[in-house]
Amino acid sequence: MSREIIVAAVLLALVLPLAIISLSPPGIPSPGDSGGPIGAPPSLPYTSYRVRPGDTLASIARRYGVPVDYIRASNRIADPRKLRPGEVLILPHGGVIHTVKEGQTLDDIAASYGVGKPDIIMANDLTGLPLPGQKLLIPSPREIPWLEALKLGWHPDSTFIWPLKGRITSLFGPRIHPIYGTPDFHTGIDFGVPVGTEVHAAAAGKVTFAGRQGGYGLLVVIDHGNGLSTYYAHLSEILVEVGQFVEQGQVIALSGNTGLSTGPHLHFEIRLHGKPVDPLAWLP
Ligand SMILES: [Zn+2]
């Protein structure tokens, strides 16, 4: 081998890695970049990432050390097989990214995810109240309401999810009253489930009633805006308070057998401008 070739080879070996590094600076966008990390100011609790051809949720999760569930919940990815190259994802740093909704307080958010309010304040360097639309990092959440919602039929085109999974024992509409034996109109649907079954908020909203009310027994009512509200009746335990903002999928109560009830079940209503409508027409 001639001396020139050896020198050239050594030079190439030295220069090539430098050239590769300078072609792909980590976290810094370059003109014509087709994918990869886009970067974010260091104060943001997440990195933006542009999906490259061949990426999967699992490969991105592995590469950046972020749990798949955190990426899914932060980006509302219902079907992980439908990642599109060019799509921009949020990669949260050690938790889930939550977008603050109108009327939602830090206490509400902390309760929804089962984390301490001080942890959220620290993780986001908050100095004041969060603003609607603001993206907050929820560090190491104990619950992720959206993942619960996904299991209960979450769909981008549907307002509601099922409050729980269980056998429907009575439909909406005219029926013979199970206790009085007289013609009656059933204003909701019943799920035959054991006492203590977790009941989830069918949509995000504000709790407007949480307590005992006549035949309903222990009742929770959630106002979802746009004239829509949901009723959860005959509960054994209520886990929310009036005025609290709850997330879709959040556990709000445990089912029971209180009030006018012939056996353990959840009575679930959807109301439009106060008038009960058939839940089956609204559920996914
Ligand atoms: Zn009922």
Return per-residue pLDDT of the chain as tens, 284 residues. 445 544 444 444 444 443 333 333 334 344 344 576 665 545 788 999 999 999 999 999 999 999 999 999 999 999 988 899 999 999 998 999 999 999 899 999 999 999 999 999 999 999 888 999 999 999 999 999 999 999 999 998 999 999 999 999 999 999 888 888 889 899 999 999 999 999 999 999 999 999 999 999 999 999 999 999 999 999 999 999 999 999 999 999 999 999 999 899 999 999 999 999 999 999 99
Q: Ligand 1: distance of its center to the CA of 216 in Å?
A: 9
Residue 124 falls inside a structural domain: yes
Q: Ligand 1: distance of its center to the CA of 202 in Å?
A: 16
CA diameter of the chain: 105
The confidence score (pLDDT) of residue 178 equals 83
The confidence score (pLDDT) of residue 44 equals 82
Q: What is the distance between the alpha carbons of residues 280 and 16, in angstroms, rounded to a whole number?
A: 63
Q: What is the distance between the alpha carbons of residues 228 and 204, in angstroms, rounded to a whole number?
A: 11
Residues 61, 108: one domain? no
Q: Ligand 1: distance of its center to the CA of 267 in Å?
A: 4
Residues 38, 137: one domain? no
Find the length of the chain: 284
- Residues, CB within 5 angstroms of ligand 1 (ion): 190, 267
Residues 108, 69: one domain? no
Could you say which DSSP state residue 256 is in? B
Residues 194, 217: one domain? yes
Residues 190, 237: one domain? yes
The confidence score (pLDDT) of residue 26 equals 39
Place of tokens 């204003």: 187
Residues 133, 30: one domain? no
Residue 247 falls inside a structural domain: yes
Residues 197, 255: one domain? yes
Q: Ligand 1: distance of its center to the CA of 188 in Å?
A: 5
Residue 19 falls inside a structural domain: no
Residue 106 in tokens: 């830090």
Residue 258 falls inside a structural domain: yes
Query: Considering 109, 143, 177, which residue would you say is the last residue of a domain?
Result: 143
Q: Ligand 1: distance of its center to the CA of 154 in Å?
A: 23
Residues 76, 107: one domain? no
The confidence score (pLDDT) of residue 34 equals 59
Residues 274, 175: one domain? yes
Q: Ligand 1: distance of its center to the CA of 247 in Å?
A: 24
Q: Ligand 1: distance of its center to the CA of 147 in Å?
A: 27
Q: Ligand 1: distance of its center to the CA of 280 in Å?
A: 14
Residues 55, 99: one domain? no
Residue 203 falls inside a structural domain: yes
The confidence score (pLDDT) of residue 45 equals 86
Residues 129, 44: one domain? no
Residues 232, 252: one domain? yes
Q: Ligand 1: distance of its center to the CA of 178 in Å?
A: 10
Q: Ligand 1: distance of its center to the CA of 262 in Å?
A: 10
The confidence score (pLDDT) of residue 99 equals 94
Q: Name the residue among 94, 93, 84, 7 with its Cα closest to residue 52.
A: 84
Q: Ligand 1: distance of its center to the CA of 165 in Å?
A: 16
Q: What is the CATH number of the domain that holds 198?
A: 2.70.70.10
The confidence score (pLDDT) of residue 179 equals 84
Following CA atoms 199, 202, 208, 211 in sequence, which dihedral angle do they give, to the nearest 10 degrees? -20
Residue 13 falls inside a structural domain: no
Instruction: Check: CB of residue 160 under 8 Å from CB of residue 230.
Output: yes
Q: Ligand 1: distance of its center to the CA of 253 in Å?
A: 16
Query: Considering 76, 92, 108, which residue would you say is the last residue of a domain?
Result: 92
> Number of folded domains in the chain?
3
The confidence score (pLDDT) of residue 58 equals 95
The confidence score (pLDDT) of residue 37 equals 66
Residue 43 falls inside a structural domain: yes
Residue 5 falls inside a structural domain: no
Domain that includes residue 210, residue range: 167-281
Give residue 59's identity as a one-letter amino acid code: S
Q: What is the CATH number of the domain that holds 37?
A: 3.10.350.10
Q: Ligand 1: distance of its center to the CA of 151 in Å?
A: 23
Q: Ligand 1: distance of its center to the CA of 268 in Å?
A: 7
